[in-house]
A and B are shown apart, each in its own frame.
Chain A
Amino acid sequence: MQIKLWINGKMVTEDVAADTLLIDFLRAHGCLSVKRGCETSNCGLCTVFVEDKPVLSCSMLVARVNGKKVTTLEGLQEEAEDFGAFIADQGAEQCGFCNPGFIMNAIAMFRENPDPSDEEIKQYLAGNLCRCSGYEGQLRGIKAYLSFKKENGGVC
Chain B
Amino acid sequence: MVHAIDFQDVAKAFRGSALNAVDHVSFTVAEGEFVTILGSSGCGKTTLLKMVNRLYEPDSGKITLFGEDISRADVVKLRRRIGYVIQQVGLFPHITVGGNIAMVPNLLKWDKAKTEARTEELLALVGLDPAEYRDRYPAQLSGGQQQRVGLARALAADPKILLMDEPFGAIDSITRTRLQDELLSLHRDMGKTCLFVTHDIEEAFKMGTKVIIMNEGKILQYDTPEGIILHPADGFVSSLVESARAKEAFWEKFKS
A and B held together in a complex: no
Q: Which residues of A contact B (CB under 8 A)?
A: none
